[in-house]
Amino acid sequence: MQSFRLSVVPASLVVALSLLLAACSNTPKDITAGWTPEKIYSEARDEVNAGAWDKAIRLYEKLEGRAAGTVLAQQAQIDKAFAQYKTGDKVQAVATLDRFIRLHPTSPALDYAIYLKGLVNFNDNLGLFSAITNQDLSERDQKAAKDSYESFRELVTRFPDSKYAPEARQRMTYIVNSLAAYEVHVARYYASRGAHIAAINRAQQALTDYPGVPALEEALAILIKSYDAMSMTVLRDDTQRILEKNFPQSKFIQANGIKKSSSWWRLW
- Smallest CA-to-CA distance from 152 within 119, 104, 123 is with 119
pLDDT number for residue 58? 95
Pairwise CA distance, residues 107 & 160, whole Å: 16
Instruction: Tell me which H or E stretch contains 254.
Output: strand 254-255
- Smallest CA-to-CA distance from 138 within 119, 149, 123, 153 is with 123
Beta bridge partners of 255: 258
The DSSP secondary structure of 97-124, one letter per residue, reads HHHHHHH-TT-TTHHHHHHHHHHHH--T
pLDDT number for residue 253? 81
DSSP class of 138: P
pLDDT number for residue 176? 92
Q: What is the pLDDT of residues 127-153, one digit of tens each?
A: 444 444 343 444 455 888 899 999 999
Encoded amino acid at 120, one letter: V
